[in-house]
Amino acid sequence: MTEEKKPTLKDCTLCGLCKSNCPVFRATKQETKGARARAILIKEDMLNEIILQCTLCASCKIECPEEIDLPEEIRKARQKLIESGKETQANKIMIDNIRKYGNPFGKQVAGKIPKELYCC
């Protein structure tokens, strides 16, 4: 019995179905910020801040006819970005807040909304 090969970005045909429910694409209506754009950037090893704009909701994975785990590829790409020093200030603040307060928003005061809201 042979083990099935897990599909990778090499198997991506760039069909664009991944962007159909991508919340970043739906909000911006910009192809360059959607799931397919992130797949292209990662395939070409051209990592930049667009990788950080993903919400990791996994709708791209659900829609993918090749069953590629793009959110996992994005996590790996984010790690490469951080290791290469291309981390955003907002990301640094979120990580610091998580370490100090256990959440990305910082110190919480009952009944008050944080001044700056960061999305994970």
Give CA–CA dist 38/19, Å, rounded.
10
Q: What is the pLDDT of residue 118?
A: 59
Q: What is the pLDDT of residue 73?
A: 95
Extract the tokens encoding 46.
């051209």
Q: What is the pLDDT of residue 75?
A: 94
Amino acid at 7: P
Report residue 82 CA to chain centroid gap. Answer: 13
Q: What is the pLDDT of residue 120?
A: 47
State which residues of the chain have pLDDT below 70: 1-3, 117-120
Report residue 32 CA to chain centroid gap. Answer: 14
Q: What is the pLDDT of residue 4?
A: 73
Extract the tokens encoding 41.
């950037």
The answer to whether residues 74 and 42 touch, using CB atoms and an 8 Å cutoff, is yes
Phi/psi-derived region of residue 33, left when phi > 0, alpha when psi is between -120 and 50, beta in every other case: alpha
Q: What is the pTM of this model?
A: 0.75
